[in-house]
Structure 1
Amino acid sequence: MTVISATGNQALNTLVTATKTTATLTSATSQQQVSATQSTAVNIGQTDTTSPVYAITKPALVWERSSGDLMSSKLASNFSNAGNAARFTGLGAALLERFTTDTSSYSQSVMKQTSAQSASSAGNVAAQNQLHTKADNQISLSIKTASGALVDITLGSDDDGLGVQVNVSKGTLSDADRRALAGLAEGFQKAIDGLTAQPPKLDLSGLTKFDTSVLSSVDLHATLGTTNTQTLDFHADANTRSVKSTGIAGTVDISVDMSKRALLGTESQQKQALNSYLKQINSAGNRGNADDSLMAMFKDAFTALNSNYGDTETTYKSRGPEPVYFSLTKTDKNMMTGLADFTASISQTPVDSTNPMRPDETDTFSYQLSQASTITGTGTQDRNISQKQQSHLVASYHQSLTQGLQLNLTSDRNSQNYLYYQIDDKSESTTSMQYHKGALVSASVDQSASHLTHIQKYVKGALESDTTTPESVSKTTNLLGKLQSAWENDAPRMSFQDYLNHQTLPDLSPLVLMESDPTQLKNRF
């Protein structure tokens, strides 16, 4: 410790330069390290004394193990920063990239020494364990290899500590396993960076890009914050992809059924369907006045889970008690969306206190979107195919009478000038195909879209108008008729069956895509 005294007229004009003293205490039993405190003592006054008036002391840092490796250096650098985004920067990628040179388990943490306990005390050990299991901010990645090995990676952070852990169990890692794990490094880090961003983002596409013959499953779990907590549960394997994220703004919940791989179309067909769904999601968000950041999370997650499908298969396994396998032809796929079946929902946290004069007027937003496909029958010669798409939007919100003016509703009637919207929209598209003795005997798509808009107008607290506007459109398209017309125009000399089997067919997939806007559906094609 350095003591500097200032006397006389120099009392308040002395520039104090403190020397830094660092020491390391090591416990042989726990292999923990404590970086000793750094302190500066300063005397200010007219008297010459050796007793300092006050001391500035920086807390000691406690390390779980020897801190001479690169990961520890990264932890030390990050720990000096505040906030999850800075604390977790680069850590996820570094832990996975480590598998290129090392397959062993690893554990390290750094924390402030907050008491007089020694480095080997039970208190420090408990605090270190909590960083790896129940930290205020916890992110964990669990990966199972096709050979059965399990890799668990955790990152934990709170006000007083930062820790990482890698655990390899239930088997050993092959060279292919190690390459596949390292290949997820960028995707894992992007997911972390998205979760810790403000507002949060769901950047999960990099965690779907893995070979299921090497890695059988990937799970990501996160809990960030003790108030206004943001949580995430993500899963991906050969048959299922799912994500559920909950935070202060609301909840996003999406599940994709990858088991019916015979339904999957070409890459361009999938892109076309995905863009169509995203357009409708945007429309729903605009219609229902949804939270922009929550909608962005929903769209990002929906895109990630419906991309990077990998190779398609040619068979479909029914879920009946007696499994039956059907082959889907190019004709079948030509009349389908090309995407895997899914369920998707977004629910915004309701705001109940928007209008103190009318507490029953809440601001809400709820939207569901789904696709479900079935194949029934006795075999490939006699089968029925159905693919149903559905959406439902329910929302309510307040809007100022003056465009661009921020609404501020109070108990004062002069503030009660607004529009109150209530929205209830539904849309559906059902494609049906029937085969009899190997021949396509019917193919059609039934579609409907409805908008129900209820608007109440208040001026100085008085209801001035109350209007309900319904819009509804339904239509049926004969897909078989369109195929037959194309056959008659392009190849009338061959049989219709040969035309379906050997010729390039007109692309009918745009006709089956669901349309949520009644006006757009009415004018479609």
Structure 2
Amino acid sequence: MTTISSLNAGFPITSTPSSNTATTLDPAGGVGSTGDNYGSASTIVTIPSGLGESPLVYTQDGTLEGGQSAVTWAQSSTDAVSSVMAANYLSGSTGGLFNNLGSALLNRFETSGSNFSQSVSFGSATAAGSIGQLTSDAGDAIKLTVKTASGTTVNIDLDSEDGKLAVGIDSSAPLSYTERTAIASLANGFQQAINGLGKLQPSIDLSGLLQYNTSVLSSVDLQFSVGGTSGEFSENSSSKSLSLTDLAGSMNLKVDTGNSVTQGSSAQQSQAIASYLKQFSNANSEGRGNPAMMKDFEDAFTQLMSNNGTSSQASSPVAQAEQAMMTGLSDFSASISEKQTGTLGAPGSFDYQVSQSTTTDGDAQNGSATQTQQSHLQANYTEASSSSSGDYTDVKIDDNASSTVKLATEKGILTRASLSQSHDETKQTSQYHDGQLVSEVITPTGTSSSTDLLKLLTPLIQDGQAAQNSSKWQQTLSNIHAMILLNAGES
């Protein structure tokens, strides 16, 4: 995946006044003046080369001493955002261009709601190359779009390409103080997401963007294209989604947060998420998936499935039982697809899908509910059988699992509670010697089970332990919740 290395230190910069004026481009970024004659053309700024070459000397208007054009700003660069841009631009690497810049743009809303744009570039390729080789054919772009409850759309853009760094803020209508405050509160979360993409081992960090003020903001959307990685995250009042594509493959996650019926207690949700993460890890091991990409998939799943709301413990025994017999998570669909190269250079693949869907009919007194969890793994990989390049094993896996709970109530009484689970796998193992197929074994395996959950509950309901909410009743509910999880019987 794409790497954006974090660089915190700029080049040391000195100014040499030839009159009473002292204009500086300080290491932190901005252009400032401490003299009475701001604008005097006689002041110069000296920037030592990070590559051990002769220092570059600039006049205060951004031209090299001797008249060669170098640094060009689109407009006055005395504001806080431009200061960050200047520091990043002189950091010596395209990797540091977005450092602290996302948060600086959103922090601007604390004091201003006006539109804003700024760009900085080197007019001389020679000069640009002398300071960290900033010119690049491939551009990086990040765009955050925030919509307010009143209908205003705000776009925040960061772009870097061919030695140019540009940012912009555009609002479709004036913003209230409350709206500006809500947008500014996303500053750290926005920067965390940018920093996550910029780690040596890139990571998905959306936690800060998931915590926006839903009474003021209606949606948040993040689009990014950094090196070979592109993707989009979206959240509104009824859904969350993330898509990501890079050279290794792609992943997609969609969560339906609009159905409160599926929400369980925080303990149930934590148990269900942990169970799914275990299944992801098992699938990745079995199919020889990419550990780094699966880690991103697991992180994204955990973040999108968390903080979607919880329900307090139900008061009636029937409601408690119904809650225990569902995962407690929002419905979702998720997939990860990888392009792989086997140990012998042979092409391989890893495709994994997992989902949960819930349907309801009627109401709590007279109604029904069905919740289905499913997973599907298809993988193909090769392993060397000996030191000879022609001796290897080719493995193909097709694995399906499901878990379905069906509930029904009549006049407030639980009349049906059933669990059906299945797990089927076909594994094809082909042995090659000197490049020729010598054996092929196809191994199908399968298990299925049906459990009447109502029979587990009825004795406790009849002897009053359910009504008393006894510890045995609660332990039974906890055991049932563990049973209904996908692949609950797998090691």
**Under TM normalisation by the shorter chain, which class is it?**
0.7 to 0.9
Alpha carbons of structure 1 residues 489 and 60: separation in structure 2 relative to 1, 3 Å: same
2-side partners of 1:140 and 1:273: how far apart? Answer: 33
Confirm or deny that 1:156 pairs with 2:159.
Answer: yes
Indicate the structure (1 or 2) with the bigger Cα radius of gyration: 1
2-side partners of 1:354 and 1:501: how far apart? Answer: 56
Confirm or deny that 1:438 pairs with 2:412.
Answer: yes
How far off is 1:136 after superposition? 1.6
RMSD of Structure 2 on Structure 1 (CA):
3.1
Confirm or deny that 1:90 pairs with 2:75.
Answer: no
Say whether the 8 Å CA contact 1:146–1:214 is kept in structure 2.
Answer: yes
Say whether the 8 Å CA contact 1:450–1:516 is kept in structure 2.
Answer: no
Find the counterpart in structure 2 of residue 308 from structure 1.
307
2-side partners of 1:334 and 1:311: how far apart? Answer: 13
Alpha carbons of structure 1 residues 457 and 76: separation in structure 2 relative to 1, 3 Å: same
Find the counterpart in structure 2 of residue 125 from structure 1.
none
1-side partners of 2:460 and 2:428: how far apart? Answer: 45
Q: State, as a whole percentage, how many aligned pairs show the same letter.
A: 35
Count of residues in correspondence between the two structures: 425
Give 3-state SS (helix, strand or coil) of 2:150's partner: coil
What TM-score, normalized to structure 2? Answer: 0.79
Find the counterpart in structure 1 of residue 429 from structure 2.
455
1-side partners of 2:94 and 2:306: how far apart? Answer: 28
Give 3-state SS (helix, strand or coil) of 1:448's partner: strand
Consecutive unaligned residues of structure 1, counting only runs of 5 or more, are 1-16, 26-34, 40-56, 117-130, 315-327, 406-413, 521-525
Structure 1 counterpart of 2:354, one-letter code: L
Map 1:488-499; keep pairs closer than 5 Å: 488=462, 491=465, 498=467
How far off is 1:294 after superposition? 1.5
1-side partners of 2:55 and 2:404: how far apart? Answer: 77
Work out which of the residue numbers 351, 365, 375 in structure 2 matches 1:381.
Answer: 365
Say whether the 8 Å CA contact 1:141–1:218 is kept in structure 2.
Answer: yes
Consecutive unaligned residues of structure 2, counting only runs of 5 or more, are 1-52, 127-135
Work out which of the residue numbers 324, 339, 342 in structure 1 matches 2:332.
Answer: 342
2-side partners of 1:346 and 1:76: how far apart? Answer: 39
Structure 1 counterpart of 2:449, one-letter code: K
How far off is 1:174 after superposition? 2.6
Alpha carbons of structure 1 residues 313 and 83: separation in structure 2 relative to 1, 3 Å: farther
Find the counterpart in structure 2 of residue 286 from structure 1.
285
Find the counterpart in structure 2 of residue 204 from structure 1.
206
Confirm or deny that 1:63 pairs with 2:73.
Answer: yes
Work out which of the residue numbers 428, 435, 459 in structure 2 matches 1:485.
Answer: 459
2-side partners of 1:203 and 1:181: how far apart? Answer: 18
How far off is 1:355 after superposition? 6.0
What TM-score, normalized to structure 1? Answer: 0.74
Work out which of the residue numbers 56, 59, 67 in structure 2 matches 1:23.
Answer: 59
Q: 1:122-160, CA deviations, whole angstroms, 9 ceiling, x for partnerless residues? A: xxxxxxxxx9xx982110001111122222111101131
Structure 1 range deviating more: 337-346 or 466-475: 466-475
Structure 2 counterpart of 1:333, one-letter code: Q
Structure 2 counterpart of 1:142, one-letter code: T
Structure 2 counterpart of 1:371, one-letter code: Q
2-side partners of 1:303 and 1:462: how far apart? Answer: 45
Q: 1:387-423, CA deviations, whole angstroms, 9 ceiling, x for partnerless residues? A: 0000000000111225xx8xxxxxxxx4112111101
Q: 1:224-272, CA deviations, whole angstroms, 9 ceiling, x for partnerless residues? A: 23xxx31111100110100111111111100000110221111111111
Find the counterpart in structure 2 of residue 143 from structure 1.
146
Structure 1 counterpart of 2:104, one-letter code: A
Work out which of the residue numbers 76, 82, 86 in structure 1 matches 2:86.
Answer: 76
Alpha carbons of structure 1 residues 88 and 19: separation in structure 2 relative to 1, 3 Å: closer
Give 3-state SS (helix, strand or coil) of 2:170's partner: strand
Find the counterpart in structure 2 of residue 400 from structure 1.
384
Work out which of the residue numbers 91, 100, 108 in structure 1 matches 2:118.
Answer: 108
Alpha carbons of structure 1 residues 201 and 220: separation in structure 2 relative to 1, 3 Å: same
2-side partners of 1:248 and 1:197: how far apart? Answer: 17
